[in-house]
Amino acid sequence: MSKPIRIALTKGRLEKDTVGLLEKTGFDCTAVREKGRKLILPVPDANLEVVLAKANDVITYVEHGVCDLGVVGKDTIMEMNGKFFELVDLGFGKCKFALAAKKGTDFYSGYGIKTIATKYPNVARSFFETKNMDTEIIKIEGSVELAPLLELADGIVDIVETGTTLKENGLEVIEDVAPISARLIANTVSLKLRHQEIEKLIKLIEENL
């Protein structure tokens, strides 16, 4: 048997959904399910090695070719860009990027430069560039919803899933920015060198989506 194909999974929900998908495909993921604190786990019957990593690191490992494949959200892909192939929309991990502001705000009125708080400055910047709108982007690490409440920002660009966080904090969506879901990505060289194996895996995965 050739050396296993290494696939980096984004720890947490995407990891669980991917393991569910691999099991639906017929692979035994016992080692991943019973991982304890281990970070590299085999899926022997698929000749896969699962690497558990944070979203940004999934991209880093795939870009550098130490992992052949990765499962990561479109949000991280849009923010980080990078050199890799995006192969399959896996359909789970669905949410969206949206521009939000305090309820009742007439966001687009007035001529002053708007201040936008976000964990995703590149996404926010390119969204407003397409509108030819000058903005000041402020990077926030967590709970971006605080920024308009504390009057630091006129609006936020953030992930909205159920909308509960916005609602409970008196904010509302002004405009959708982009849909998000989990994507299967591949290292460019791995895809060339292990084309047949990867194609076979993709086919199995797509049949079970």
Which positions touch ligand PRP (CB under 6 A)? 142-143, 158-165
Based on CB atoms, which residue is closest to ligand PRP, 112 or 142?
142
Distance, in Å, from the CA atom of 156 to the CA atom of 152, rounded to the nearest integer, reads 10
| Shortest separation between residue 135's beta carbon and ligand PRP, angstroms | 19
Based on CB atoms, which residue is closest to ligand PRP, 122 or 208?
122
Based on CB atoms, which residue is closest to ligand PRP, 160 or 185?
160
| Shortest separation between residue 143's beta carbon and ligand PRP, angstroms | 5
Going 97 to 103 to 109 to 110, the CA torsion angle's sign is negative
Based on CB atoms, which residue is closest to ligand PRP, 168 or 207?
168
Tell me how many helices (H) and strands (E) the chain has. 9, 11
| Shortest separation between residue 26's beta carbon and ligand PRP, angstroms | 31
Residue type, 85: F
| Shortest separation between residue 166's beta carbon and ligand PRP, angstroms | 6
DSSP letters along 187-203, please?
-HHHHHHTHHHHHHHHH
First to last CA, the chain: 27
DSSP letters along 118-173, please?
ES-HHHHHHHHHHTT--EEEEE-SS-TTHHHHTTS-SEEEEEESSSHHHHHTTEEE
Distance, in Å, from the CA atom of 62 to the CA atom of 45, rounded to the nearest integer, reads 22
| Shortest separation between residue 196's beta carbon and ligand PRP, angstroms | 37
Based on CB atoms, which residue is closest to ligand PRP, 115 or 169?
169
